[in-house]
Structure 1
Amino acid sequence: MAGCVFCGIVAGEVPAFRVVDTFDGVAFLDTRPVFKGHVLVVPRTHLVTLADLPPESLAGYFGLVRRLTVAVESGLGAGGTFVAMNNKVSQSVPHLHTHVAPRTKGDGLRGFFWPRTRYADDAEATAYAERVRRAVPDGA
């Protein structure tokens, strides 16, 4: 969809630190991560909310999200992950996307308060994307 930044990333027209690019979706680093290594997973087609995702796409899309939770945890040595999705309210980009953020005990994330951080530079972001990419289980 014209003007959608996530569609631009999927099409390769907007630069992003890609982690995975599959038939079921594309995963890339959030530019304003809760914690470094925070990944966004988006379907390849422009859909706004979860209700718009066709039932036949659920297994593939959420299978990709599941693989990314494994990759973020193992690739970054995280204690776990926080997986979230907004639908309309608080959805900064109106394109279906799932957040997969690394978690560690005592990291300060409480409830739905999302502190944001930044990567020092593109090299650091590239290194985080690569760490997660290498840890994606087969099938992604």
Structure 2
Amino acid sequence: MDCIFCKIANGTIPAKKLYETEKSLAFLDAFPLAQGHTLVIPKNHYSKIQEMSKADNLDLFDTVQVMAAKLESISSSCLVAIHNGKESGQEVPHVHVHLIPRKASDGAGPVHSMFTKRPSLGSDEINDICNMITGTK
């Protein structure tokens, strides 16, 4: 497999490792958006979070929690972000969680600032969406 994160996990490509468990790895992002920008990955390859085993999922988010606490040495706040599929902005098709220390002066804004074309939904459309997601009619 030609996955850069799998190569980092198996040691083929070096990375600035910050924390590691049997199932997860946290390392500094090679192209940081802020000082301390960290990626947390499962060592097993999964493209999307819904493909992950329960054990890998639990370990990944335990590692996210540990690293979020460690990043408080840089900033009291951090953005926790997952792009889950190509259309969501995922550039590497391997599950990864971004932990990005935030400061009021960083100019990034809230997640809602990313979307300039928001839908205007009526109650019938909202009900239809709810039914599609839950599988009810």
Q: TM-score, normalised by structure 1?
A: 0.73
SS of structure 2 residue aligned to 1:63? helix
Deviation string, structure 1 residues 60-82 (Cα, Å, up to 9, x no partner): 210110111001112x2x02110
Say whether 1:84 aligns with 2:78: no
Tell me which residue corresponds to 1:71.
Answer: 70
Instruction: Please tell me whether the aligned partners of residues 37 and 101 of structure 1 are also in contact (alpha carbons under 8 angstroms).
Output: yes
Greater Rg by CA? 2
Tell me which residue corresponds to 1:60.
Answer: 59
Unpaired runs of 5+ residues, structure 2, are: 115-137
Instruction: Please tell me whether the aligned partners of residues 29 and 38 of structure 1 are also in contact (alpha carbons under 8 angstroms).
Output: yes
Letter in 1 for 2:79: F
Structure 1 or 2: larger helix share?
Answer: 2
Tell me which residue corresponds to 2:50.
Answer: 51
Letter in 1 for 2:103: T
Q: How many angstroms apart in 2 are the aligned matches of 1:13 and 1:58? A: 24
Alignment of 1:101-116 (within 5 A): 101-112=100-111
Tell me which residue corresponds to 1:100.
Answer: 99
Identity %: 32
Instruction: Please tell me whether the aligned partners of residues 24 and 56 of structure 2 are also in contact (alpha carbons under 8 angstroms).
Output: no
Tell me which residue corresponds to 2:40.
Answer: 41
Structure of higher RCO (CA pairs closer than 8 Å, 6+ residues apart): 1
**Once superposed, which parts of structure 1, at least 4 consecutive aligned residues long, lie more than 4 Å away?**
none
Say whether 1:14 aligns with 2:31: no
